Each structure stands twice: as structure tokens, then as C-alpha cells.
Amino acid sequence: MRDEGNGAIIIGAGLGGLVAALALQRGGVPVRVFEKAGELGEVGAGISLAPNATRALIALGLGPELKKIANSPKGMGRKDYATGVLRALDDSTGYQKKYGAPYYQLHRADLHALLVDAVRGHDRDAIALDHDFVSYAADDDGVAAHFVGGAVARGALLIGCDGLKSVLRGLMWGVDQPRYLGYVAYRGLTPTASLPPGYVTPDAASCHGPGTHFTRYLIRGGETVNYVGFARRDDWVDDGWSVPATVDEVLESFAGWNDELRLIVNNTEAGRCHKWGMFGRKPMPHWTQGRATLLGDAAHPMLPFLGQGVSMAIEDGIVLARAIAKHGITPAALVSYETARRPRANDIVERSAARGEQVHRPSDSTDEMSVGLPPDIFSYDAVNVPLS
Ligand SMILES: Cc1cc2nc3c(=O)[nH]c(=O)nc-3n(C[C@H](O)[C@H](O)[C@H](O)COP(=O)(O)OP(=O)(O)OC[C@H]3O[C@@H](n4cnc5c(N)ncnc54)[C@H](O)[C@@H]3O)c2cc1C
């Protein structure tokens, strides 16, 4: 039995669980993160972090390291899907001035590694691998988490950061399967050196074709082009998170698109093209029961069309730590956390789905799409949002 006494048990060492762990550690709360995988890692894909997320990560003391591993796009463009001609450009260098925090694009694995190091820097035993959470029991004194093989961990609070198929969510609210939402994402990484010099201009851009949508941006100091193409598809059966895909099937889904897309996809690094179906759930009316709560995709899985899934998990982690700092490591802190966070996260779930409809119309919608997202998404400040 691992006994965290007056500490928190976190289930899942994804980006959400690690941010929550770090935020709690910085507030002096003992934390153990239990991860079912035998080794730590993240999928080979890029991620966008809008100012609402970077503001929160900077508040965790990660600013200088984040700057080293992230690309801050100079411009974010909208291109014509058929010709590749630039139709609109957002000068994203202005985000720092406008929102007080930068817009970053980076490799998910680099952010994950940064968080793992930071959490282990506070406590080298903070993350326990090979712990597959199966059940829990709570009483007046605390909560016990049970794992496959019989291991038990005890603490004051249990935080489920176990993703879309959250076991804790099922235990608290009943098991329901995530629904396929009708979109497939194709993701790939292409070495920039395989393209003509200066080809990737501006360094972030997207196009909207009939029922399809393609975004590409530079990561890793401009060495790699990360791309993700979304297509509506009714016949998805695989519920794998990351299924190998071929360049030909991506090109087939984007037939009639511009030369830039074809060249980037054709030069995908071997083994670096994947696809997955988009699954989700309806927004929940509750996240918390007594000493247990949910965070990140476990609480609010969303379609990626506002690029806010991880960002919501990052905001959750900051607010959870602040609620615990205010109310102590008690069930009241979880109520305060949920009260502050659920309306914001559920709103973004709904707006991400609505954005999907807007972006994937049967006709080209490039001219109707604004560059940049609604300002209220970026201006949210998890560090200062009022708590009950
Ligand atoms: C195509 C696509 C593009 C995206 N782009 C962006 C973007 O640009 N910006 C953005 O902010 N978001 C983006 N997202 C969303 C983002 O990927 C998710 O919202 C985010 O990864 C959720 O993090 P999490 O930590 O909550 O869950 P996860 O990353 O799913 O982590 C859950 C962890 O829990 C572990 N676990 C599961 N069950 C158990 C168990 N029983 N016991 C112990 N451990 C367990 C898992 O192994 C995993 O490590 C995108 C998503 C997709 C699909």
C-alpha cells in the first residue's frame, strides 16, 4: 500500500495529469501519479497551445524551458484549398501583446518530457508506472485506489486524469461508451529539409475544402512540419488512438487539393503517418463525488476544432491546485474546482463541435473562416479566475 496521507492520488500521466501534479506540488501538496503504461511517452504529433494555455504553463515556472522547445508562429494563414494561394494572414506575434502570453506550437512528446522532468524534479518517485487503476473506495478519512494485481494507494483526494475512456468516470457515473463523431484525423510529420527552401510559408496555415480541413505548422525549431487533415467519414470502426495510415490514403481524402499539401504529405517521414477517429461524449452535469473528481479528457472530451483539448486540461490543473490551496485537501476544494471549471470546459466542448460543422461544410468555406479564434478563449486566466 502506498499511503499519501494528506496528499492527492492522480490517475493517468498524460498531459492533464502531469500539469495537475506539478501545480499541486508547487503548492506543497504531496502527489502520486499512477499510470497504466509501462513506459512514459506521447503520440508523435504536434500540438498548439493558445495564450490561455501558455499563460498557465508560464505560471508553473515552465516559461524558459517551453520557449526552448516551442515554435512561436510568425503568421497564421488561410490558404485556398485548391490553389494554395494565401487568402488571409493573422500576425500571431501580436498575441503576446494582446493576451500577455504567446501562441506556441510544439511536439507533444517534448511537452510531455518537460512535464515529467518537472514533476520528478519535485519528487523523483512521484510517478508510478504499470499501475492500471480499476476501482476505489472512499470514507471519512480518505480514499483508496485499487490497481490490477492488487496494489492499493491511499490519499485524501482522487483525481481522474485517465482520458477519454476514463475508468474513474465509469465508476462514478456508470459506464457509457464514447460515441464516434463522424470525423477522421490524418496526422503526419514531414522533415522540412525534404521540401524546397522557404517552402513552408507562413509557418502555420490551414485550408478548408468541401467536408475537409487541413492544418500544417512548423515544430522543433522549424525542422519538422506537423500536419493534420480532417475528413468527414461515416464508416470508421477502429477505436485505436493512433492507427498507421498511408500517404496514398491521405491524398485520396484530399483529392483535388493544392500542390503544397501533396508535397508535404508525399514527403511524410516513414512510419510517421497515422489516423484516428474522433470520439466524444456529451458535456457532463457533474464531475465530482465526495473525494473524487475528473480532469482533462476524462471530464470533458472534445473535438479538436478549437485546438483546446490539452489547453482545457492545463487550465483545470491550475484551478484545481488553487482550489486546494484555498480549501485544503478536502472535498470542498473539489466542489470549488468544478464550480469554476465546468461551465468554461463544457462551453468549449459545445463550441468545438459547432466549429466542426462550420469548418467541414460541403462547400469550400475558406473565405468565411476567420483567422484566429474568439478572444474570450485566449483571454481566460486560470491563475486569477475567481473561486468559490
Ligand atoms: C487530432 C487531434 C488534435 C489535437 N490537437 C490539439 C491541439 O492542438 N491543442 C490542444 O490543446 N488539444 C489538442 N487535442 C486534444 C488533446 O489531445 C487531448 O485533449 C489531451 O491529450 C487530453 O489529455 P488528458 O491528459 O486529459 O488525457 P490523455 O492524454 O488521454 O491521458 C490519459 C492518461 O491516462 C492513462 N490511463 C488511462 N486509463 C488508465 C488507468 N485505468 N489507470 C492508469 N492510467 C490510465 C493513459 O495511459 C494516459 O497516459 C487534439 C486531439 C486530437 C485527437
324 inside domain: yes
For the domain that residue 86 is a member of, what is the CATH number? 3.50.50.60
No. of H helices and E strands in the chain?
11, 19
For the CA of 18, the nearest atom of ligand 1: 25
Q: Which residues of the chain have pLDDT under 50?
A: none
All three cell numbers of 323: 482550489
Nearest to 78 by CA among 187, 196, 202, 188: 202
Q: Does residue 161 contact residue 169 with C-beta atoms inside 8 Å? A: no
323 inside domain: yes
Cα(165) to ligand 1 centroid in Å equals: 10
Cα(72) to ligand 1 centroid in Å equals: 23
For the CA of 13, the nearest atom of ligand 1: 49
Cα(15) to ligand 1 centroid in Å equals: 7
All three cell numbers of 220: 522543433
pLDDT value at residue 44: 78
Cα(156) to ligand 1 centroid in Å equals: 25
pLDDT value at residue 306: 93
14 inside domain: yes
pLDDT value at residue 237: 65
216 inside domain: no
182 inside domain: no
pLDDT value at residue 6: 82
Ligand 1 pocket list (CB less than 6 A): 11-17, 34-37, 47-48, 131-133, 161-164, 167, 185, 228, 296-298, 304, 307-311, 313
Which residue, judged by its Cα, is nearest atom 38 of ligand 1?
162
Full domain range(s) for residue 372: 2-177+281-379
Count how many Cα atoms sit within 13 Å of the Cα of residue 5 in the half-sphere of its side chain. 3
Cβ count near 119 (within 10 Å): 24
Phi, psi angle pair for 77, to nearest 5°: -110, 160
Rg of the chain over Cα atoms, rounded to whole angstroms, equals 21
Which residue, judged by its Cα, is nearest atom 39 of ligand 1?
162
86 inside domain: yes
Cis ω for the linkage preceding 202 (within 30 of 0): yes
pLDDT value at residue 92: 77
pLDDT value at residue 206: 92
126 inside domain: yes
Which residue, judged by its Cα, is nearest atom 14 of ligand 1?
309
Q: Which residue has the cell 485505436?
A: 240
Cα–Cα–Cα angle for 311, 317, 320, rounded to 5 degrees: 140
Type and span of the H or E element at 22: helix 15-26
62 inside domain: yes
Tally the domains of the chain.
1
* Alpha carbon distance 70, 324 (integer Å): 30
Cβ count near 223 (within 10 Å): 13
Tens digit of pLDDT for each residue in 159-184?
999 999 999 999 999 988 888 898 99
Catalytic residues: 217
Tens digit of pLDDT for each residue in 330-374?
999 999 999 999 999 999 999 999 988 888 877 666 655 555 677
